[in-house]
Amino acid sequence: MRFLITGGHGMLGGDMAREIAAVPGLTVANPGKHDLDVRDGAAMRAAVGHAENGWLVHCAAMVNVEGCARDPEGARATIVDGTVEAIGLAKAAGARLFYPQTFLTHDGRSNPISETEDQRPLSLYGELKLEAQNRIEDAFGEDALIVVMAGFFGGEAADKNFVGRIIPAMHAAIQRGEREFEVGDRVWQPTWTRDLALNSLHLMLAGCRGRYQMACHGEASFAELAHEIVCALGWQDRLRVVPVDAASVAGNELGRRPDRAVLSCDRLKTERLDLQRDWRATLHAYLRHPHFDQFRFS
């Protein structure tokens, strides 16, 4: 079975490629954004053979709320227009389409967020991702596999999300002699891309269809997660995380986010397809990677 991953060098795409490559009988092509530009129709058509009668795993996107707000035209070209090209590629290849969706298509008005709840994004990023999802569902109906994922960490040096950004910032604060570090109390489900990739592949190989939610077991505020990072990297005697109200942080953001967003993941659990783990265990496992040794103090 053939798999083609767009955005194959990104946080999720890279782990998807590793999980697929580890299974005998599966072949995977995972070009990065510089190797396969999803906005380029000719390049996408030339890649059809990599997904023939298999799967197109469409990870490519501008995964950046602030970046989308700064460059709405570029964001639309990548997220929506790129998805239109992905739909065309999948149809030409006779492939099924897997689409990882963001939890930021929801506004967090009610928690846990039901799988039947209307998606009401607060940011342009969420709006564009929802439009892309609608294009996929219009083209393939229930045959597409769409997984709404919690906010994630992963990819070590490629990690551009909260964990990847906060570690060097806290490390720099320690080096400046600071003893306290303020972090907002917004609540989410920090989930390892490795777990998301493995669980997603499990769904694809099981022939699943329609829409699922996927997140780690448990939930945490950003401040709680930052505190756990302090513990994992051995900074307890050097830095204390001070929780602050999410509203005080939101004022510096270009795109709105829900203050609390917890996915129910009911379908995954009911169908006994949930391979997720507790967020603390996975965070500690992730931070044992040699990449993070540069942030430890002897």
Query: Which CATH topology does 156-188+219-273+280-295 take?
Result: UDP-galactose 4-epimerase; domain 1 (3.90.25)
Residue 291 near residue 157 (C-beta atoms within 8 A): yes
User: Within a 10 A sphere around the Cβ of 34, how many other Cβ atoms?
Assistant: 7
Q: Record the pTM.
A: 0.95
How many Å is the Cα radius of gyration of the chain?
19
Residue 146 near residue 136 (C-beta atoms within 8 A): yes
In angstroms, the CA 221 to CA 189 distance is: 8
Tokens (6 digits) for 67: 């970046």
In angstroms, the CA 115 to CA 209 distance is: 14
Closest CA to 125 of 85, 66, 211: 66
Lateral strand order in the sheet of 145-149: 27-29, 2-6, 55-58, 96-102, 145-149, 210-214
Residues 58-106 have pLDDT tens digits of 999 998 899 999 999 999 999 999 999 999 999 999 999 999 999 999 9
Q: What is the pLDDT along the chain (298 residues), one digit of tens a residue?
A: 999 999 999 999 999 999 999 999 999 999 999 999 999 999 999 999 999 999 999 999 998 899 999 999 999 999 999 999 999 999 999 999 999 999 999 999 999 999 999 999 999 999 999 999 999 999 999 999 999 999 999 999 999 899 999 999 999 999 999 999 999 999 999 999 999 999 999 999 999 999 999 999 999 999 999 999 999 999 999 999 999 997 776 555 677 899 999 999 999 999 999 999 999 999 999 999 999 999 999 8
On whether the 2-152+190-214 domain is CATH 3.50.50.60, my answer is: no
pLDDT at res. 286 = 98
Structural domain boundaries in the chain: 2-152+190-214, 156-188+219-273+280-295
Residue 123 near residue 130 (C-beta atoms within 8 A): no
